[in-house]
Amino acid sequence: MEIAICPNCKKEIPEDSKSCSHCLKPIVSVKYKNVFSWQLSDKIFLFAAIILLIGFFQPWFPGSILYEDKPISPYRMLLNIVDLDIDFLESYNILRMIIIVPIFSILLYFMIYLRASMQKTLFPSIFLFLISCASILPFFFRIAGMTGGVLMSLVFLFCIIAYYRISYMSGRLGYASYFVLLIFMCLSVFIYQLDLGKEFYVNLETIKVSQTYGFWLTWLTFGTLIFTIILSFMKTVEDFWLMTFGVLLSLIAYNTFIHPLFVSGPFAFFADNFSEVGIQALTHIKIVFIALAIAIATGVPLGVYITRNPVAARIVLYISSILITIPSIAMFGFMMPILSSIDKSWDAVSGIGIGAVPAVLALALYSLLPIIRNTYIALKNVDPATIEAGRGMGMTPFQLLIKLQLPLSAPIIMAGVRTAVVMGIAIGAIAAYIGAGGLGIFVSQGLQMSTNDSVIAGAVSMSLLAILADIFLEQVEDWITPAGLKIER
């Protein structure tokens, strides 16, 4: 059944409905159609697949081995090129991959039709299932030996069959086949790509695939997979086409404007140091988000408390206003001597730079003001009639807080959190000076060595990070805003 979306209340309704079953308003014309109708089982399955794929590159992944007392990822192990500079493959190829994605968007559109046709008959599903099994199961034996291979195969088959069964019972076999196909493609092409796979299948005298072909096929499936995930966030066919045109345009733009930049300039720096940028970006995110967690954990309760104590409110807001006016470089310097002793023990756990604790604490202090103030203002602005009604009905102060005040304040508190995060990402650049790591390193190093490319790469990646974080938090804000508050009067 195709799903349409009610133009009025934006909920899913059966196609060709005369009136919306939720808001009961008549539907004049159904403009929107869902590309996908995702269910929980699909999401879980896809999530598991993504974890598997990510894990494939991780040293902690099951199946990893120790190489000179260091764990290495299955990917490296299978490539058998531990000594090779793997950064090249892991960074440059991911860039390539991102660019290849749009090309396969069109392909995906055909796959959607494939899905629709699979919905009607069982044969392609079974056929694909058998082929996939044949290509994937020997792989398990290779990794885990005889006993392990049997076990892994059984677990694997069980998962797949269970997923098929759930999908079949809800009449959605087509979806299941589509996802299973996607995941098998991903896994199997990985094997084809590798020397191991080639050797293995040659030995089995079954299939022979060139490594180059496998390489491209890998990114193709990766692209399709990522695009599928992107699709899941899109509600309408219009969105799909917008996206397709958008990526085609950006492809052209890439070839004419951006690609030359990769040869020299900041982008070249970016591409050359991709994994380093990635690592520092992660550190940056870690510092900002730990600081944010501390600021939320202290700021929100403090904001709640001061709504009940006007004297404390003045003092707390005053102090947090003063804190935010302290220049960041002074704040970091101030924190260093106080906290460097704790730093060592912390470092062992979190694995971030030597100045991490002072950086985290300084950022937490900076983040306090927007969070405390927004919490305070939001709680103060909850309609007094609502609170009086709650009190008059016999809600305890705690129930009032949990059931009314906090949910009603959530959007404004989240706005404070967003301000704090964007500010934190920006101020976090200074943290590089006290050895906390983060994207600020590229700026500080670039300034010291007069390499503008480095400075620009650092600055651009921080801006991107701030924008992405803000978009993400906007989404979070949308999630935690109670549905009843989103309705415009």
Minimum distance, C-beta of residue 17 to other proteins, in the bound complex (Å) = 16
* Binder among 128, 395, 426, 460 for other proteins (CB under 8 A): 395
Q: What is the identity of the amino acid at 69?
A: D
Given the complex with other proteins, which of 303 and 390 has the nearer CB atom? 390
Given the complex with other proteins, which of 23 and 162 has the nearer CB atom? 23
Q: Is 403 in the site for other proteins (CB under 8 A)?
A: yes
The values of phi and psi at residue 28, to 5°, are: -80, -55
Query: Which tokens is 348 given?
Result: 């062992």
Q: Applying CB under 8 A, which part among 148-156, 160-168, 387-395, 437-445 lies near other proteins? A: 387-395
Minimum distance, C-beta of residue 394 to other proteins, in the bound complex (Å) = 3
Given the complex with other proteins, which of 115 and 391 has the nearer CB atom? 391
Distance CA 64, CA 73 (A): 5
Distance CA 244, CA 258 (A): 19
Minimum distance, C-beta of residue 293 to other proteins, in the bound complex (Å) = 25
Do residues 370 and 416 touch, judged by C-beta distance below 8 A?
yes
Q: What is the identity of the amino acid at 28?
A: V
Q: Is 463 in the site for other proteins (CB under 8 A)?
A: no
Minimum distance, C-beta of residue 132 to other proteins, in the bound complex (Å) = 42
Instruction: State the distance between the two ends of the chain, measured CA to CA, in whole angstroms.
Output: 33
* Binder among 122, 389, 402, 471 for other proteins (CB under 8 A): 389
Given the complex with other proteins, which of 11 and 259 has the nearer CB atom? 11
* Binder among 2, 388, 474, 478 for other proteins (CB under 8 A): 388
Minimum distance, C-beta of residue 304 to other proteins, in the bound complex (Å) = 17
Residues 6+ apart with CB under 8 A from 39: 170, 172, 175
Q: What b/e readout covers 192-224, taking b as 16+ CB neighbours within 10 angstroms?
A: bbbebbbebbeeeeeeebeeeebbebbbbbbbb
Minimum distance, C-beta of residue 465 to other proteins, in the bound complex (Å) = 32
Strand, coil or helix: 102? coil
Applying CB under 8 A, the site for other proteins has a residue count of 25
Minimum distance, C-beta of residue 473 to other proteins, in the bound complex (Å) = 20
Minimum distance, C-beta of residue 488 to other proteins, in the bound complex (Å) = 8
Name the β-bridge partners of 67.
70
Q: Applying CB under 8 A, which part among 96-104, 116-124, 357-365, 478-486 lies near other proteins? A: 478-486
Minimum distance, C-beta of residue 408 to other proteins, in the bound complex (Å) = 6
> In terms of Cα–Cα distance, which of 271, 299, 245 is closest to 453?
271
Distance CA 378, CA 372 (A): 10
Q: Applying CB under 8 A, which part among 160-168, 380-388, 422-430, 465-473 lies near other proteins? A: 380-388
Given the complex with other proteins, which of 297 and 485 has the nearer CB atom? 485
* Binder among 407, 415, 426, 460 for other proteins (CB under 8 A): 407
Query: Which tokens is 151 given?
Result: 């076990």
* Binder among 133, 391, 470, 477 for other proteins (CB under 8 A): 391
Q: Establish how many alpha carbons lie within 13 A of residue 258's alpha carbon, considering only the half-sphere containing its beta carbon.
A: 13
Minimum distance, C-beta of residue 478 to other proteins, in the bound complex (Å) = 14
Q: What is the x/- site pattern for other proteins, positions 76-115, by CB under 8 A?
A: ----------------------------------------
Q: Is 393 in the site for other proteins (CB under 8 A)?
A: yes
Q: Applying CB under 8 A, which part among 64-72, 132-140, 275-283, 388-396 lies near other proteins? A: 388-396
* Binder among 394, 448, 450, 479 for other proteins (CB under 8 A): 394
> In terms of Cα–Cα distance, which of 457, 95, 463, 444 is closest to 266?
457
Minimum distance, C-beta of residue 16 to other proteins, in the bound complex (Å) = 22
Strand, coil or helix: 334? helix
Distance CA 400, CA 393 (A): 10
Q: What is the x/- site pattern for other proteins, positions 166-205, by CB under 8 A?
A: ----------------------------------------
> In terms of Cα–Cα distance, which of 263, 309, 201 is closest to 209?
201
Q: What is the x/- site pattern for other proteins, positions 3-32, by CB under 8 A?
A: ---------------------x--------
Minimum distance, C-beta of residue 386 to other proteins, in the bound complex (Å) = 5
- The alpha carbon of residue 297 and the mean position of all alpha carbons in its chain are separated, in whole angstroms, by 23
Helices in 307-327 by DSSP H: which ranges?
310-325
Distance CA 183, CA 181 (A): 6
What sign does the CA torsion over 341, 345, 350, 352 have? positive
Helix, strand, coil shares of the chain, percent, nearest 5, are 75, 5, 20
> In terms of Cα–Cα distance, which of 217, 245, 251, 221 is closest to 111?
221
Footprint on this chain of other proteins (rule: CB under 8 A): 24, 383, 385-386, 388-396, 399, 403-404, 407-408, 482-485, 487-489
